């Protein structure tokens, strides 16, 4: 049975302030929750799941205490879910902890405000082995439930930092700075890189003029058709496929 106070607590985690205070985030659905339970750097705090999911995932739950696992009905899950269609399980996790180190390739995001785009960009970074993403403070919060769902557990493997992006780029400019723009040189002519900060801009405004001025190279994806632009995550995936 779902205790009212717990339901209220989970619903409160829709607010960034409370997620930050508690140092937690919420993930939902069998695939992402199962994968996160296998990650050592995101300890589960509490799980709310229907009986059949708990029974079929007993092996990954063996290390949890009884009070951490809550059996709920479909209707109770619906009350606490952030999804349009709740899916068997919701889990509150501790935010991931990462060992600070220098990275040769970094993905920098200048004002990515759409949660789905940000989550997909973190997942793309994970696909290409990029372990650090740096966002400016105008970007969406990576622990927003919608962002978490879009990362598909990559949130546990990719360190996402928020910083004064121009200052961060200046401090790491020796890596090389690649700004993705509509009027840059074709990315396929650059070849593979061993180090660099690859910058993706806001969905509608692109990369700010300040950051453009810090770019070592301005790059673009050759357009063949008539589309005006590409989705930020799609464009980043194409760029990384050429550079990494």
Q: What is the mean pLDDT of the chain?
A: 95
Q: Can you tell me whether residue 64 is helix, strand or coil?
A: coil
Mean pLDDT of 181-204: 95
Domains along the chain with CATH numbers:
4-94 (3.30.1330.30), 105-243 (3.40.1280.10)
- Using the predicted structure, report yes or no on whether residue 1 has a pLDDT greater than 80: no
Closest residue by Cα to residue 237 from 92, 155, 128: 128
- Using the predicted structure, report yes or no on whether residue 32 has a pLDDT greater than 90: yes
Which contacts (CB < 8 Å, 24+ apart) does range 239-242 have?
A: 239/178, 239/180, 239/187, 239/198, 239/200, 240/107, 240/124, 240/125, 240/128, 240/130, 240/198, 241/128, 242/187, 242/188, 242/190, 242/191
10 or 101, greater pLDDT = 10
pLDDT digits (tens, 9 = 90+) for 135-184: 999 999 999 999 999 999 999 999 999 999 999 999 999 999 999 998 89
- Res 91: pLDDT: 98
Residue 133 and residue 107 in contact, taking contact as beta carbons nearer than 8 Å: yes
Closest residue by Cα to residue 77 from 46, 34, 48: 48
pLDDT digits (tens, 9 = 90+) for 45-62: 999 999 999 999 999 998
Residue 91 and residue 32 in contact, taking contact as beta carbons nearer than 8 Å: no
Q: What is the pTM of this model?
A: 0.94
CA distances from residue 153 to 64, 81, 124, 179, 196 in whole angstroms, order as listed: 19, 18, 12, 27, 25
- Res 11: pLDDT: 95
Mean pLDDT of 107-128: 97
- Would you state the structure tokens that stand for residue 197, as one six-digit string? 């900060």
Of the chain, the percentage scoring pLDDT greater than 90 comes to 91
Residue 233 and residue 117 in contact, taking contact as beta carbons nearer than 8 Å: yes
- Would you state the structure tokens that stand for residue 133, as one six-digit string? 């993403």
């Amino acid at each position: 049975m779902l205790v009212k106070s717990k339901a209220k607590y989970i619903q409160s985690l829709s607010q960034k302030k409370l997620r930050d205070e508690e140092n937690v985030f919420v993930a939902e659905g069998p695939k992402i929750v199962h994968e996160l339970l296998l990650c050592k750097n995101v300890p589960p705090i509490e799980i709310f799941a229907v009986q059949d999911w708990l029974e079929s995932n007993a092996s990954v739950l063996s290390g949890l205490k009884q009070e951490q696992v809550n059996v709920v009905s479909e209707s109770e899950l619906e009350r606490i879910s952030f999804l349009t269609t709740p899916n068997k399980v919701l889990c509150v996790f501790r935010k991931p902890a990462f060992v600070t180190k220098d990275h040769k390739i970094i993905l920098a995001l200048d004002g990515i405000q759409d949660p789905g785009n940000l989550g997909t960009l973190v997942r793309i970074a994970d696909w290409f082995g990029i372990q650090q993403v740096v966002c400016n403070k105008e970007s969406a919060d990576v622990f927003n439930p919608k962002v978490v769902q879009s990362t598909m557990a990559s949130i546990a493997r990719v360190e996402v930092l928020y910083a004064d992006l121009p200052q961060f780029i200046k401090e790491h400019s020796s890596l090389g700075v690649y700004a993705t723009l509509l009027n840059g040189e074709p990315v396929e002519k650059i070849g593979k890189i061993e180090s660099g900060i690859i910058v993706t801009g806001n969905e509608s405004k692109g990369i700010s003029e300040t950051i453009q001025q810090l770019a070592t190279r301005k790059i673009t994806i050759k357009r063949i058709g008539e589309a005006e632009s590409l989705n930020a995550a799609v464009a980043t995936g194409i760029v990384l496929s050429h550079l990494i």
